[in-house]
Amino acid sequence: MHESNIEAKTSLFYDAWNRGDEKFVRETVAPDALNHGSGDVIEDHETFMHSFLAMRLAFPDLQYTVHEIVVDSQRQLSVTNVVCEGTQAGEFVGHPPSHRRARWREMRMARWREGRIVEHWTVRDGLAILTQLGYIDVEGYPHSPN
């Protein structure tokens, strides 16, 4: 896939997340895709979709603002720097709704094959999320990305 196609598909993927478009996300993530979540957790396609739906339920107004997409067309990779923002209106990692707004940064990397994501990695600032939602208090920790 050409570099401009990978960048365009990456942009469309985040647009679909912002709309909560489960169908588009499901079709963009290959059935045999692997998702590398927190730590050593590796999820399959269905677990990835469950995570997508859980985030949408926890933060119904969740929005991703893409700050940069870097593409390596030889390796068929996209790396995306995003800032996420939403109001917790549903359960999040075992915590009841706080009805607070949170803003955090994520770095995501996706490997593409034939226009679909076949492998995906996410690194997020979970401490910033939990601090802003009021579940933990860490003195001096910045509450949101610049």
Residue 139 lies in a domain: no
CATH for 45: 3.10.450.50
- Tell whether 137 is covered by a domain: no
Res 131: pLDDT? 92
- When pLDDT is cut at 50, 70 and 90, the band that residue 145 belongs to is low
Q: In this predicted model, which residue has the larger pLDDT, 137 or 59?
A: 59
The reported pTM is 0.86
Structure tokens at 62: 């969740």
The pLDDT of 15-41, averaged and rounded, is 87
pLDDT higher than 60, residue 113: yes
Q: Classify residue 84: in a domain, yes or no.
A: yes
pLDDT in tens, 31-77: 999 888 766 667 788 888 888 899 999 999 999 999 999 999 999 99
Tell me if 33 is assigned to some domain.
yes
Structural domain contains residue 79:
yes
In a domain, 22, yes or no: yes
What is the domain range of residue 37? 3-132
Q: Is residue 142 part of a domain?
A: no
Number of domains in the chain: 1
